């Protein structure tokens, strides 16, 4: 029988990939979007426009659609705005909503997968395993940490990810790097911010694979290699045939960001391999493979602003 899957945030960068993979697997896919409309290429999914944070909406969606599983990719991702102008939305969406979804799903025996962030750690003592004690440095990080704790209490499967990239115009860092390289301009990239860059398509695949697990479960679902933004930009240049010499080391101390970022947030991924038998490739492997798609997205005039 076809699995009936509900994807929240289905028009987001990773959500789109979940919908695409689930359709290719022959699942019956329901997906929500809010402001950003879903792409035409995914019209085989059943799309619903909804703000999905209120308990009444959550109950209505579950009662009417009766999904067997929910993959939740919706989030408030404006890290700096969480410090002030977006604090309320940040809290509602990242801290409160996952616990509500997890509880309502658990009452009905529905699997629920939600995504957190490497920012729950402060980057002072890497590498981090799932059981290490978090120390969030920003309001965004606190909101996601509360979200993961509440979701886990209600039996969810929680995947922590980092620096998600894709051939989607909303992958800002990647787009900026590629455009500058293509124009022969220097790319100043931080040597002091380390993470495990994660390919959206691989994260989406893992979120679907994770439906096999029994919750509660917390897994690091990040690319297998931890690197600085500087190394990431160099890997992009190398894989796409641009001059690596254009990538120049810079320090995050040179720019002012409202929210504090962890410096060396390297995550261990052994548990992902052990529980699901998968690894998320490094950008060194991925970028070459999707180089054509990336050039089409970032170097064509159709790119979203
Ligand atoms: N991107 C990263 O580097 C990164 C790093 C660590 C963790 N993560 C986590 O990974 C997951 C996927 O991230 P992503 O970058 O793929 O997300 P994304 O592209 O920012 O998409 C998030 C989606 O959620 C929707 N949304 C937000 N609030 C909503 C609400 N209240 N009701 C309904 N829809 C709502 C947004 O719709 P509208 O745009 O239409 O409002 C958007 O389509 C998230 O949990 C994120 O926190 C991402």
**Does 229 fall in a domain?**
no
Cβ atoms within 10 Å of 35's Cβ, excluding its own:
7
Best mutation site among 77, 121, 156, 168 for ligand 1, i.e. most ligand atoms within 8 A of its Cβ?
A: 77
> Which residue, among 142, 269, 252, 129, has the nearest Cα to 198 in the 3D structure?
269
Q: Residue 105 maps to which CATH number?
A: 3.40.50.720
What span, in angstroms and rounded, lies between the C-alpha atoms of 277 and 230? 30
pLDDT exceeds cutoff 60 at 305 = no
The pLDDT value given to residue 301 = 54
Q: What is the pLDDT of residues 172-197, one digit of tens each?
A: 899 999 999 999 999 999 999 999 99
What span, in angstroms and rounded, lies between the C-alpha atoms of 101 and 86? 21
Number of domains into which the chain is organized = 1
Q: What is the pLDDT of residues 36-71, one digit of tens each?
A: 999 999 999 999 999 999 999 999 999 999 999 999
Q: Is 74 left (phi over 0), alpha (psi -120 to 50) or beta?
A: beta
Mean pLDDT on 292-300: 91
pLDDT exceeds cutoff 70 at 303 = no
Largest pairwise CA distance in the chain: 56
Token duo for residue 100: 């509500």
Contact indicator for 262, 119 with CB cutoff of 8 Å: yes
161 lines ligand 1 (CB under 6 A): yes
**Does 29 fall in a domain?**
yes
The closest-lying atom of ligand 1 relative to the alpha carbon of residue 51 is: 32
**Does 299 fall in a domain?**
no
**Does 185 fall in a domain?**
no
**Does 184 fall in a domain?**
no
Q: What is the pLDDT of residues 10-23, one digit of tens each?
A: 999 999 999 999 99
For residue 148, give its domain range: 4-168+198-224+265-281
Token duo for residue 242: 């641009």
Residue nearest to atom 5 of ligand 1 (CA): 162
**Does 193 fall in a domain?**
no
57 lines ligand 1 (CB under 6 A): no
Count Cβ atoms within 10 A of the Cβ of residue 172 and give its class: 0-12 exposed, 13-18 middle, 19 or more buried: exposed
29's CB contacts (< 8 A; 6+ apart) are 5, 7, 19, 22, 23, 44, 45, 46
What span, in angstroms and rounded, lies between the C-alpha atoms of 150 and 147? 5
36 lines ligand 1 (CB under 6 A): yes
Q: What are phi and psi of 211, to 5 degrees?
A: -65, -15
**Does 46 fall in a domain?**
yes
Cα of 69 from ligand 1 centre, angstroms: 19
Contact indicator for 57, 51 with CB cutoff of 8 Å: yes
**Pairing of β 194-195 and β 227-228:** antiparallel
């Amino acid at each position: 029988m076809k699995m009936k899957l509900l994807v929240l945030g289905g028009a987001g960068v990773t959500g789109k990939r979940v919908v695409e993979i689930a359709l290719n697997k022959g699942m019956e896919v329901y997906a929500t979007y809010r402001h950003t409309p879903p792409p035409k290429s995914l019209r085989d999914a059943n799309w619903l426009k909804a703000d999905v944070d209120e308990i009444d909406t959550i109950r209505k969606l579950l009662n009417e659609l009766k999904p067997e599983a929910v993959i939740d990719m919706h989030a408030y991702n404006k890290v700096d705005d969480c410090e002030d102008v977006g604090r309320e939305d940040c809290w509602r969406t990242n801290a409160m909503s996952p616990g509500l979804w997890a509880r309502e799903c658990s009452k009905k025996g529905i699997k629920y997968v939600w995504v957190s962030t490497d920012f729950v750690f402060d980057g002072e003592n890497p590498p981090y395993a799932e059981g290490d004690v978090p120390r969030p440095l920003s309001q965004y990080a606190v909101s996601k940490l509360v979200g993961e704790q509440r979701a886990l209490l209600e039996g969810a499967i929680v995947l922590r990810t980092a620096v998600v990239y894709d051939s989607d115009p909303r992958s800002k860092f990647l787009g900026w790097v590629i455009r500058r390289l293509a124009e022969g301009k220097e790319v100043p990239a931080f040597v002091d911010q380390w993470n495990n860059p994660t390919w959206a398509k691989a994260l989406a695949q893992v979120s679907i694979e994770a439906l096999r697990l029994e919750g509660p479960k917390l897994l690091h679902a990040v690319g297998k290699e931890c690197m600085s933004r500087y190394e990431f930009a160099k890997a992009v240049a190398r894989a796409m045939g641009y001059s690596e010499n254009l990538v120049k080391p810079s320090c995050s101390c040179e720019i002012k960001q409202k929210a504090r970022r962890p410096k060396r947030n390297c995550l261990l991924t052994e548990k992902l391999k052990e529980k699901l038998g998968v690894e998320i490739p490094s950008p060194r492997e991925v970028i070459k493979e999707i180089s054509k798609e990336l050039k089409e997205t970032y170097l064509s005039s159709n790119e979203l602003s």
